[in-house]
Amino acid sequence: MCGSDQAIVIKGSKCSSGVVPEATENNPRPNLSSDAIINLDHGDPTMFESYWRKVGNACTVMFMGYQSLSYFANPKNLCWFLEPKLEEEIKKLHDVVGNATVEGYHIVVGTGSSQLIQAVLYALSDPLNEPNPISVVSAAPYYSSYPEVTDFVRSGLYKWAGDAHNFDKDGSYIEMVTSPNNPDGFIREPIVNRAQGMLVHDLAYYWPQYTPITGPADYDIMLFTVSKCTGHAGSRIGWALVKDINVARKMVKFIEINTIGVSKEAQQRAAKILEVISDSCSQTVRLPESDNFFEYGQHLLTERWKKLREIVRCNKLFTLPKFHPQHCNFTGDFAEAHPAFAWMRCKEDVDCEKLFRGHKILTRSGKRFGSDPKCVRISMVSRDEEFDLFVKRLSTVQGIANGN
Amino acid sequence: MCGSDQAIVIKGSKCSSGVVPEATENNPRPNLSSDAIINLDHGDPTMFESYWRKVGNACTVMFMGYQSLSYFANPKNLCWFLEPKLEEEIKKLHDVVGNATVEGYHIVVGTGSSQLIQAVLYALSDPLNEPNPISVVSAAPYYSSYPEVTDFVRSGLYKWAGDAHNFDKDGSYIEMVTSPNNPDGFIREPIVNRAQGMLVHDLAYYWPQYTPITGPADYDIMLFTVSKCTGHAGSRIGWALVKDINVARKMVKFIEINTIGVSKEAQQRAAKILEVISDSCSQTVRLPESDNFFEYGQHLLTERWKKLREIVRCNKLFTLPKFHPQHCNFTGDFAEAHPAFAWMRCKEDVDCEKLFRGHKILTRSGKRFGSDPKCVRISMVSRDEEFDLFVKRLSTVQGIANGN
């Protein structure tokens, strides 16, 4: 199994090994010991906590005991459980950022984008005219949850059909187009391109901190999530922009049966958070002590990617994707993408996830993404101390010839 | 179709016709016009709003922008997305009320009990050993959502098999035992009673405001929901008490795939609400201005049932279930049940839902519960003004001989 017996060592005194940071007000959890397990398997977006600490009370929301008892948020709306304030702030934020068209779209709120993905599959399936489950595909490396989310209850409506590159069945199908892609950060187009295809654009990472915004997306079905936009993964709020009213209606039906709507507390808090972000981007309503949220995030990620690329360059055992600078309409500058995940490929013929696990670094194997076990996905959005400990430890990872 | 040509009219001057209430501080929505549509189809528990207004700030919760970003609430817990404070308050409330044993149970939180029902079906199905979907039954009249929740994505793991009374298939099955029952309020036992049966006890209404608490339930799987316990349906929080760790583990897996956990804001607010209720029941920590929550609810429902029974007695067109007084361990008194729904049966051979719709009263047809179209389910937990307008209007409902 050993592809090479060449020892991979750190060379060059200029190569940084990363520093575990001191505790600060903005970063109150520096308790990682130097041999701690670092979990970068999930994309838990705790990196943004430091921003929200700076914002302080401007983002505080309060609930009295008598508020929001009813199931209904807006009985007159097609999406009767969508809080009007959240709808308003979603539209405003897309306008401010310029990453999606909202005019002419129906907004469907979901308990995170996982629920919205299932709602879309339910909405696009057509059991009256199609006796067999509709095929669901995505180009490898694809988001590791798609197969599981599609197949976990063995639905007769839809069925995972794997890598879009290999899809050759006749008839209708659903293609998930994740752009920027999870795990590798590249901008994507549909792969299958047949007449009976239906496209779902998962745009969870189409925000300025991760990638240049090259224009407003205007696809038929677009999915977004608060988790990746603002960092509030614990709230479980996502939204879909949907052109066709019948698709939107069926998605609402799915969420009605699945969870009878979406938590009002989470929606109202998300509305406030999106409002604060929109304000932070505006020249006229700039909050004291707060930067433009997206510029702050972009800056952090740029620094992290710089550190990571430097270690990888020195280590010589891995490769990382390369991104070409593009003009970002939001910042007005040319910039590279700085994705939420690093898609690392080992140059040796090893199981990369296992290799990292041996160094107490938990990552997600390329196999989970329909890809190569020589690849892993590594979260770039953890807390500072985890990221810094990761790059420090990465600098010591050696090839299999040295027993790893 | 006309079963009788006898005119049904209101008789007797002692029969009240109900009064539309004035606006008060506790009841700020008296805007129903006398000919408004009254929607009593859903069991939207807005009745409890008046209690929560009285409680005031004691139940207020606040979220700062930097709180609860992570997906994880307690990574060491089997249910890694369950807020520790909610777990604690669930246990405390069951202890205070005496309606369920918690010792030796695993707690799984869900996005309302709808999600928990699906999680249970997923957890109890065994696709490796059972090639066909497991049958799911419940005795009619059964909760109208069970068939839809079971079958909406045409799962290959489980399949709705209808009224438990008619179930005669060999092999394993899941029986939903709803007690007190939705729609009719009766305490229930399993019906099928075969060796290969698995029971799920849906105890959403086993709280003192609805029914006497005769002892702590200790079934294998018990489902509860904040919506019906406290009135906070908009939060979408339910919980399961589960004896078998492997069942609990699979339920957690379902919720992980379906929605990657449960909103932290909703959980933390629910924890506060349960705490306030437990305190309101305690002699030592009684809040100013607040009654014991369950006694308050029981009082309101007792009054409503009294009004309704009086109108029904005068009207003579309908019958209501009768409940025998039982000793309630919580209040220490003998009391009848006062369910969250009135299960009304029309004595004439009419479609009762249609009859009420003609009077702008929206109810849920008995057909939806696997039962008789002469029956309807009517919410008893709406706001005062809706309930009062309903009983007023009910007094004018006449039989089909008069053209309804």
Contacts of B203 (CB under 8 A, 6+ apart): B99, B100, B179, B217, B222, B223, B224
A-chain residues near B28 (CB < 8 A): none
The domain B38-53+290-402 is classified under which CATH number: 3.90.1150.10, 3.40.30.10, 3.40.605.10, 3.40.309.10? 3.90.1150.10
The distance of B261 to chain A (nearest Cα, Å) reads 8
Q: Tokens 């992980």 map to which residue?
A: B256
- Check residue A398 and give its pLDDT: 80
pLDDT in tens, A158-194: 999 999 999 999 999 999 999 999 999 999 999 999 9
The ipTM, to two decimals, is 0.92
B67-92 pLDDT, tens digit each: 999 999 999 999 999 999 999 999 99
Whether the predicted pLDDT of B198 surpasses 50 = yes
Determine the average pLDDT of the residues in B135-142. 98
pLDDT value of residue B16: 41
| Calpha distance B344→A11 (Å, rounded) | 82
Range from A390-404, B5-19, B27-41 carrying the lowest mean pLDDT: B5-19
Crossing angle of helices A264-281 and B264-281, in 10° steps, is 130
Q: Does A28 touch chain B (CB under 8 A)?
A: no
pLDDT band for A399, please (50, 70, 90 cuts).
confident
Confidence of residue A287 (pLDDT cuts 50, 70, 90): low
- Across the interface, which of B63, B69, B122 has its CB nearest the CB of A48? B69
Kindly list the residues from chain A whose CB atom is less than 8 angstroms away from the CB atom of residue B276. Answer: 65
pLDDT at position A295, please? 94
pLDDT above 70: residue B24: no
pLDDT at B287: 55
Q: How many angstroms away from the CA of B233 is the closest CA of chain A?
A: 5
- A20 reaches B (C-beta below 8 A): no
Q: Which residue has the tokens 């201005």?
A: B289
Greatest alpha-carbon span in chain B: 68
Chain A residues within an 8 Å CB radius of B46: 69-70
Q: Which residue of A has its CA nearest to B69?
A: A232
Q: What is the residue extent of each domain of chain A?
A: 84-281
CB A383 within 8 A of CB A35: no
Is the pLDDT higher at B88 or at A127? B88
Contacts of A72 in chain B (CB under 8 A): 44
Tens digit of pLDDT for each residue in A358-385?
A: 999 999 999 999 999 999 999 999 999 9
Has residue A50 got a pLDDT over 50?
A: yes
CA–CA separation, A33 and A145 (whole Å): 31
Is the pLDDT confidence value at B23 over 90?
no
Average pLDDT for B284-302: 81
Separation in Å, CA of B59 to nearest CA in chain A: 5
Cα A126 to its chain centre, rounded Å, is 29
Residue A67, min C-alpha distance to chain B (Å): 8
What pLDDT band is residue B25 in, cutting at 50, 70 and 90? very low
pLDDT digits (tens, 9 = 90+) for A197-236: 999 999 999 999 999 999 999 999 999 999 999 999 999 9
Nearest CA in chain B to A155: B155
Find out if CATH 2.120.10.70 is the number for domain A84-281.
no
pLDDT value at residue A23:
40
